[in-house]
Amino acid sequence: MINFHPTQQQLSDFAQGLSAPALSLVISAHADMCPQCKRQISQLESASAKILVEQPFDRMAEQPTDFASMLAEITCLPAAEGPSNISQSHQIELDGRKFSVPRALKRYVEKTGNWSHLLGNLWQAPVDLGPIGKANFIFMQKQGRVPEHTHRGTELTLVIDGEFSDGISHYDTGDFILMNSENTHAPYSEASEGCLVFTIVDAPLHFTSGIARLLNPFSHLFF
């Protein structure tokens, strides 16, 4: 069950095309997996489009972006009708096991690098998002654990398959998670099938406990 969603303000900004690219991508992928947020986005899009259509022409001309491009941006967002699109998505593979990814991420499947072993039961595959930010698919095998850390920037995470905990909450498939410098956590998975997440960070992690602190000068190379 999906328990963690973008805030109402984040959904509203997304529907209006105001979200930062990284946040927009993760919200879009979450909406592909979450009928609840998909419906909310559809309603917000409709409301935004109605406001634009009802504006007098002279007021439209004053807007920083012309009406046609704004409407195009709204209509290219994920459709809200029907069930989740995840079953129609492309797949990524690790050791013969295939994982479906949400529609919003399928364009990046071919831009995903090779899997590399990090530490313990952790695996990572970098994703080339261009200027959007640094992204990775991270797979935690059972008992896989990311060392306790906080963030110099923001960390956006979408649970693609499986479940994990981090000392703050327990997350399941489809959950949307945003962490920043106010959060300290240590993600780990006890799921028998492990857990796959998609994550975007805009600054290196900062490890906060044990021997992992020795990794801080090099954390940008791994996470």
Nearest to 199 by CA among 65, 2, 25, 53: 25
- Interior/surface letters 158-191, b for 16+ CB within 10 angstroms, e for the rest: bbbbbbbbbeeeebebbbbbbbeeebbbbbbbeb
More confident residue, 221 or 122: 122
Q: Comparing 12-16, 50-54, 72-76, 183-187, which segment has the lowest mean pLDDT? A: 72-76
Question: What is the CATH superfamily name and number for domain 86-221?
Answer: Jelly Rolls (2.60.120.10)
Report the pLDDT averaged over residues 108-131.
92
What angle in degrees, to the nearest 10, is found between the helix axes of 21-33 and 8-15?
110
Q: What is the pLDDT of residue 75?
A: 38
- For residue 43, CA distances in Å to 17, 39, 46, 86 come to 14, 6, 5, 21
Q: What is the pLDDT of residue 54?
A: 62
Q: What is the pLDDT of residue 211?
A: 64
Where residue 133 falls among pLDDT bands split at 50, 70, 90?
confident
* pLDDT tens profile 13-39: 999 999 999 999 999 999 999 999 999
* pLDDT tens profile 160-218: 999 999 999 999 999 999 999 899 999 999 999 999 999 999 888 787 876 665 565 65
For the chain, domain boundaries? 8-75, 86-221
